Structures are given as C-alpha cells and as structure tokens.
Structure 1
Amino acid sequence: MVEVTVTDLTDRGEGVGRVGERVVFVPDTVPGDRAWVRLLRVKANYGDGKLHELIEASPHRCRPHCIVADKCGGCQWQHIDAAYQRQAKQNLVIQALQRIGGIAEPPVDPVLTEAIDGSPLASLGYRNKASYPLSISAQGQVQAGYYQKGSHSLINLNRCPVQDDRLNPLLAEIKQDIQQQGWSIYNEARHTGLLRHLCIRIGRRTGEQLLTLVSNSEKLPGIKAQAETWLQRYPQLVGVCLNLNSSRTNVIFGPETRCLAGLPYLKEKYAGLELHLKADTFFQIHTEAAEALLPIIRRELNLQGHELLVDAYCGIGTFTLPLASQVQLAIGIEWQSAAVEQAEKNAQLNQVSNVKFYQGKVETLLPELQLNPDVVLLDPPRKGCDRAVIETLLKTQPERIVYVSCKPSTLARDLKTLCTGGYQLIRVQPADFFPQTSHVESVAFLQRSTGSN
C-alpha cells in the first residue's frame, strides 16, 4: 500500500501519480486526489494500482450518476465533474500534439460546449445508440448491459444515464420478453446459444426508434409475432430487425440484417437534412455535438461555391451532404458498401445532386481517381490514415485539409507528417462526443504553406 497524489489523466482514463521515480496509474481517480493505493503490478518504471481509500478528495471529484459506475466498463469518468472532463480532454490533445506531433505550441481551442442553438451540449442522456451484450445470470435470468472493467463479466443494467432516456424502457422490458420467449443466449466461450446483442437506436430530433437483435441463427420461434407486439407496444418504435452473426468474433454485427416488422431504418433530422439510419449504419453517437462542428468547419473553410471537396472515409455522408451545398462538387470515398448505398439514398432523399460516392479503400481510390481537390476532409478510424493516403495528399497538395480524429495520438502522428510535408496547422477544435469517458474528438485545420506547391 502506497500513498499517491494524482496529478494527471491518461487517454485511457486512468489517474497518474508518482511513487519516488516510478509512475503509477490508478483508475477511478482525479487530479487533486490524495489516496492510499494498492499496487497490483510493478515494473521498472511504472506501476498499476487500485484505489483503496481516499485521504483527500479532489475538488473536481463528483458523485457518479450511475449506481454501477465503479464497476461498469462503459464509462471511465463519471466521478469527474463535466467542466474538468472537458479541460482534461483539451489537455490530452495538447499533450499528444506536443509529444508525438513535435508541435511545441499547438493551437488547440477549449473543448466545444454549445450546440448550434446555443444550448449546452449534454453530458448525460446523449447517446443515440447502444449495443448491449446479452448473458444469463447464475439464477437463469436474461441480462443486458456492459462488461465489467477489464473483463467479460456482464454488469446488468435496466437503465443507463448516458443513453437517451427514451430508450430506457426498451432496455428493461425487452429482456423480460426474451426471457418469456425462452430464446437461448449466446455463450461467447463455448460458441453456443443464439441471441448475442440487444441494439437500440433513436433519432434525437424525431424520436423514432429502431430495435435490433443480433443472433447466431435465424431460428427464433415466434420472433415475427414478438416483433409485431413490440411495434404495437412502443409508439415511437418504427422497426424491428434481426442481424445474423454466426462468426466466432467480438464484432457486434454480422453481414446480413433482416427487417422483421415495420421499417429497416429510422428518420433523423441533422444539419437541415433528413437522414435514414439503419441498424448497422455508422453515425456519430452524440448527434448534437457532431452537428455543432459543422458551423465551425464552414466558417474556417469559407467555401465560395467553386471548390472540389473530397470527403475521405465519408461513411453515410455525415459531412459530405451538409457541405455539398457550398461547393461545386463533393466526392465521398468509403470502404463499406452499405454506407455508400445509404449515402446515395440520403443524397437523393435531400435532392443533393452535386455529390458522387465511391466505394473502396481510401488508400487505393484516392490516388487512382487522380483528383486535384481544393479541400480534403479526412475522418479516418482510430488507427488514423493509411500512409498511402498521406503520401497522396503530399503529392496533390490540396489547398486545405480538415482532419476529423477520434484518437489524439494518431492525429498527432499524421499531422507531424503533413506539417513536415508543406502544411501549416491553423487550429484544432476538440469536441466532447463521448462525455463521461476519456475519448475525445478533434478537428484539425491545415493550410498549404505558401510556395509549397
């Protein structure tokens, strides 16, 4: 047992302190905490600890809004007040750009706090989608929730304070229906049983809801009748779907989704557009925060209507479609064929005609298309951009690059290469897409340096 004063936070959400020359990482702590810590693992330069007892609580510590916050792996920072969470996230971006990007004084703004209507962005009840693993308790009860921190032991939930409140009745009641139907629950270790996940999604602006069960097989007796019962019971539920995933994997969705009752999508209002979102469509989890970034991107780019814009890793056109009205032509590139199909349908639905979507890997298509865009928007997965994408950008030298990132370390890595290759980092705007967690979204704006082309 050692006494530790916590001074910082890691991008994994752990508190950081020191014992002598050794760094100690302690989950569930806040900078300003002084605590007794039990060391669980000790290496030459660092140790991993567990909070045993608080000696003095940080002024930034608060009471969690969830009764299982200390156990559930869904959130890491419910014990930290919202204002300090945002400050910590800004600091995580700054540290990554300094340490990995080699940028001495990175121009990082405070974390975005306001929605487009000027109201505060929600830090609770914000999630528009949740995918809950299913399990069976020792007493034989169907459970749904999130895994315990650092394990695959399920924490059963009947409500979740970070998901949209309107989804809570479904979480509690659908489990009971599954229990009554007697459908078997998937066992990950043995690869036996049927139902794997309960997935629920809501249109934040429309209130429409979509329910999806992920199953190892389609052989669920009475599933269509139960789907119709759910549609009748929940007025806002517009569709019930069954996704088939028979693979031995921790990936949630399989390749095939069938609509059992109602519609295979819900409608959502976003940035002045109507979007159709399916069960497995990727869409930012915090609708209002994602939407709040668009005016910032528009102001920074100051588009004049003659530009060619390329949106790499475009998904369903979350940024492509709203920005298309301000450019001559917008091109989206996306690997997932279902997302491209959805993007094209959403473009037709909103009568956006100056867009083209291409299906394929960005690192393959971007050089093959031989485009000379004025603006390139990057929104890669957590691993960042493929090296071939960065090399293509350095070769074609678009005037401006907008890089949307969900991981500061890979953003910093890629910005270092771009800035070395002729770009100037103008500004970075962090946004809190995932309150109560250590994850942070950022948008970096780059300008081609004078004479670099």
Structure 2
Amino acid sequence: MARGLPVTAGGGDSVVEVDLEGMAHGGAAFGRAADGRVVFVGGGLPGESAAVVLTDVHERFAHGILSALPDPPSPDRLAGAAPCPHFGAWPARGRSPAGACGGCQWQHVRYDAQLRFKADVLRDTLRRIGGIADPPVRPTLGMPDPWRYRNQIRVRSGPTGLGFVAADDHTVVAIDACPIAHPAVDALRAALDADLPPGTEVTLRAGLATGDRMIVFHAPEDAVDWIEVEIDASVVLARPDGRVDVAAGRPFLVEAVEDHIFVIPPTAFFQVNTAMAAVLVEQVRQACPAHGGTLIDLYSGVGLFAVRLAERFREVFAVEDNPASVAAAVDNAAGLDHVTLLEADAAEGLAHLALGADVVVADPPRAGLSADVVRLLKQHPPDTIIYVSCEPSTLARDVRQLVSGGWSLVGCQPVDMFPQTYHVESVSVLRRA
C-alpha cells in the first residue's frame, strides 16, 4: 500500500512508501494506496517497496518517480548501468528526464521479466477492459538477442545534432549510438551530415535481409539546404503534402520476410523488427485453415499478410487506404492472380465486399478497429478473426465488442517486436461460438 499519500490534486515533493504489485502498460510499476488509489511509479518493479516522489496526484490515481533505488531490489532489476549511456539510470532518469533518451523504458529490466510483464499487461487489460474472465494469453515469444533489431529509427534535429526525443517528450537528446538499432541503421546515422532546421525529423531505414538502405527527410521543400551521405543509400524528401522527391537512389526500400521480397515506399508502414515479423506471420498462419476459401486482409499495408498467406486460400482481398502502400502491394503480390487489392478505408472495403469470409486478418493502427468495421464484421461474420494489435487497450475494447457479436477469444499470443520497451504486439484469434 502507499502510506501518507496526499488527498488533494496536484504535484509536490512529498515522498511516500509504495509496495509495488504489478506492471502497467506504459512502463511504470503500480501499487495501491490505502484508500484504493493506484500509484504509478516510473522506474519501479513489481515486488519492490519503493520510496516515491509524487509528481501528479488525482482523486483516483497518482504518478510518481523513485526517490532512491529500492532496497532490496527486485531480482528482475539489472544491476549496474544500462547498456545504453543515453538511457541513464534510475532514479536520476526520473529526476532529469530531459537528459535521458525516451526511446526505451525497460533497459533496467531483465529480458525474461520484460517478456513476462508484457503477457501480464495483456492478460490484465483483456480482463479489465475486454471483460474476459480468464484471458487465454500465452507466454510472450521473445528474441534470442533483444538488441540491434530495429530496421528503422526516426531521429530529430536538435541543438547539438540528430537525436531522439527525451523522456520529457520534447527535448532532443543527441546520440552517438543506439543499441536497439541494427548496425546497418546506426551506420546511416553516423554517415549523415545535413543542414537541417531544428525539429526536422529523419527516418533511417534498412532492409536487414537485403542490405538496402534509405534516408527519408520529413521536411518542406525549402527546408533542407544541403545533404551529405557517406554511404550507399537512397535519399528521399517526404513533403508535408504527401509528395516524395528522390534526391538519390530509388523511391523505395527492398526488404525480405520469409525469403519473399517486399517493396516498401519511404513513408509506408512496415514492421520495425524484420526477424520477429517472420514470427508474427507464422503465428497468423497457424491460426488459418490449411485450405481456406476467402481471406480478407484489413489494413493490409504493403501486403505482408495477404502475400504470405495467399497459398492457403482460394481468393484473397487486401484492403488498404494508403495509395503508395497499395501501389507497392501490386509489386509484392506479383504472380498471385487470386489476390485482389482494394484501395479503400477498412470499413469502405468491407462494405464493398459485403461477404462473410472464412478468415479476416486485421492489423489496425493503435486506435484499433473503427465502430463501422466492427458493425460490418457483425453484419457479414467471418468464421475466424485474427487480430494483430500493437495496443492492448484498444484490442481489449474491440474484443469485448466482437465477443458480444458471437465470437469467442480462443487465444492471444504476445510477440516481442520491441525489446527494451513496454510496447507489445499480439496475435489474437477469435472464432464463431
């Protein structure tokens, strides 16, 4: 419990002792006050009794940071400094968030514990928000090496060069290396020199299976005076109005998943972890019938699931509203004559198809399924819905709606696409009851 917790709203320098019980989505541990309020503690871990500086107190909950390292620490806490010097160390990271990189949240946590926490967060969220009494969440599938995995990073120009947004959500922390970026991506950062206005964002992408590389500047037409890149890479300027200008190389990146080549436009979505993207595809494949009739792939992007699952279905419809992604999917699905691509919003695509598929795969953004998509799924119910999610709360919200429409949640498999962070990907399977 928390002892001596103030009742009035606001912040302050008061320190209270909190017995931490679990991990919340967002990366903080939590415990409960004597009056039932939840206290979220940055840098804390379940099982620790922590001295907490309260920073934001409300009627039903409070936020705080560690005043000192818990003694004794949780066995899940890594001793010593984090592998990345830009991560900093607790409790200094909480006291001076402007000096710590905000990209990772859990470099102080043992990797096996990170995997356990992610499954716990999914289970708790499906219970609280989804109304599932006993969520069928499996152990998280992790990486053999949870470092050097990202095939892309997005950096921002600051007073002392390119860096990441700090833990305070607005300061730019200059970096000289990123241990979760693949070396091919980190080499792009080191080889780049450009005259950029403060706040300009740059995406560095690499095809980890192909060796292809791309630098994308997100800037107005007259914002970049000169660019120098001492490495073989495509260089692209992405304008605010959606136009893309190629300064060098090609207007696309080439990557491979399960030995299939994918063309990816500069600003198109693609999974940031190539190795675990293959694991994700396999998890979705295992939920599909060996010989199915119709598959509808919603929010299909450049066609990752539609293309890799096509051999299992008689006909496949891929629905995506980003024109560049659809154009790329045409190339990525070359030779698959039974795959039809629809450039449309997910709800518009479902309404146009107006059919009950054997399987619907949905990989929506963090906002989850729209109300119209849920309504249309209920009107034309598929036998199976495979929901790929990167946000537990919207997954749980949508699962609740789908269960009320006649499906049962039969499995939820967390997949660790984002080691060293609290973010969790999952594959949930719902079947008609």
Q: TM-score, normalised by structure 1?
A: 0.85
Q: Is structure 2 residue 342 aligned with structure 1 residue 358?
A: yes
Q: Is structure 2 residue 24 aligned with structure 1 residue 10?
A: yes
1:212 corresponding residue in structure 2? 216
Q: How many Å separate the matches in 2 of 1:184 and 1:277?
A: 25
Aligned-residue offset at 1:60:
0.4
Aligned-residue offset at 1:221:
4.2
Change (3 A) 1:44 1:330: same
Q: How many Å separate the matches in 2 of 1:222 and 1:397?
A: 54
Map 1:301-312 to 2 at 5 A.
301-304=288-291, 306-312=292-298
Q: How many Å separate the matches in 2 of 1:402 and 1:184?
A: 43
Between 70-79 and 87-96, the greater mean CA deviation after superposition: 70-79
Between 266-275 and 317-326, the greater mean CA deviation after superposition: 266-275
Supply the RMSD in Å over aligned alpha carbons. Answer: 1.7
1:82 corresponding residue in structure 2? 111
Change (3 A) 1:184 1:102: closer
Q: Percent identity?
A: 33
Q: Is structure 2 residue 36 aligned with structure 1 residue 52?
A: no
Paired residues, number? 404
1:203 corresponding residue in structure 2? 207
1:283 corresponding residue in structure 2? 270
Query: Could you list the runs of 5+ residues in structure 2 that have no partner in the other structure?
Result: 1-14, 88-92, 94-99
Q: Is structure 2 residue 330 aligned with structure 1 residue 344?
A: yes
Q: Is structure 2 residue 295 aligned with structure 1 residue 313?
A: no
Indicate conservation of the 8 Å contact 1:243/1:258, yes or no. yes
Q: Is structure 2 residue 210 aligned with structure 1 residue 242?
A: no
Change (3 A) 1:184 1:262: closer
Aligned-residue offset at 1:33:
2.7
What do the CA deviations read for 1:274-310 (whole angstroms, capped 9, x no partner)?
A: 1112221210111111211222222222331x51100
Equivalent residue in structure 2 for 1:169, among 187, 197, 215: 187
Q: How many Å separate the matches in 2 of 1:42 and 1:312?
A: 41
Map 1:336-415 to 2 at 5 A.
336-348=322-334, 351-415=335-399
The alignment partner of 2:18 has SS state of: strand
Which residue identity lines up with residue 274 of structure 1 in the other structure?
I
Indicate conservation of the 8 Å contact 2:389/2:425, yes or no. yes
1:38 corresponding residue in structure 2? 53
Which residue identity lines up with residue 76 of structure 2 in the other structure?
H
Indicate conservation of the 8 Å contact 2:155/2:201, yes or no. yes
The alignment partner of 1:258 has SS state of: strand
Query: Could you list the runs of 5+ residues in structure 1 that have no partner in the other structure?
Result: 114-119, 188-195, 246-253
Indicate conservation of the 8 Å contact 1:144/1:157, yes or no. yes
Q: How many Å separate the matches in 2 of 1:30 and 1:341?
A: 46
Map 1:399-438 to 2 at 5 A.
399-438=383-422
Aligned-residue offset at 1:409:
1.2
Q: Is structure 2 residue 289 aligned with structure 1 residue 332?
A: no
Indicate conservation of the 8 Å contact 1:377/1:402, yes or no. yes
Equivalent residue in structure 1 for 2:198, among 148, 162, 186: 186
Aligned-residue offset at 1:222:
4.7
Aligned-residue offset at 1:336:
1.0
The alignment partner of 2:46 has SS state of: coil
Which residue identity lines up with residue 24 of structure 2 in the other structure?
T
Change (3 A) 1:65 1:222: closer
Indicate conservation of the 8 Å contact 1:238/1:266, yes or no. no
Indicate conservation of the 8 Å contact 2:196/2:225, yes or no. no
Between 367-376 and 104-113, the greater mean CA deviation after superposition: 367-376
The alignment partner of 1:307 has SS state of: strand
Q: How many Å separate the matches in 1 of 2:211 and 2:252?
A: 13
Change (3 A) 1:43 1:344: same
1:448 corresponding residue in structure 2? 432
Q: How many Å separate the matches in 2 of 1:308 and 1:55?
A: 55
Indicate conservation of the 8 Å contact 1:38/1:51, yes or no. yes
Equivalent residue in structure 2 for 1:61, among 72, 77, 87: 77
The alignment partner of 2:256 has SS state of: strand
Indicate conservation of the 8 Å contact 1:167/1:202, yes or no. yes
Which residue identity lines up with residue 42 of structure 1 in the other structure?
V
The alignment partner of 2:375 has SS state of: helix
1:26 corresponding residue in structure 2? 41
What do the CA deviations read for 1:189-221 (whole angstroms, capped 9, x no partner)?
A: xxxxxxx12211011111221112222224644
Q: How many Å separate the matches in 2 of 1:314 and 1:424?
A: 24
Which residue identity lines up with residue 52 of structure 1 in the other structure?
S
Aligned-residue offset at 1:169:
2.8
Equivalent residue in structure 2 for 1:266, among 244, 247, 253: 253
Which residue identity lines up with residue 77 of structure 2 in the other structure?
R
Q: How many Å separate the matches in 1 of 2:396 and 2:56?
A: 30
Q: How many Å separate the matches in 2 of 1:58 and 1:23?
A: 20
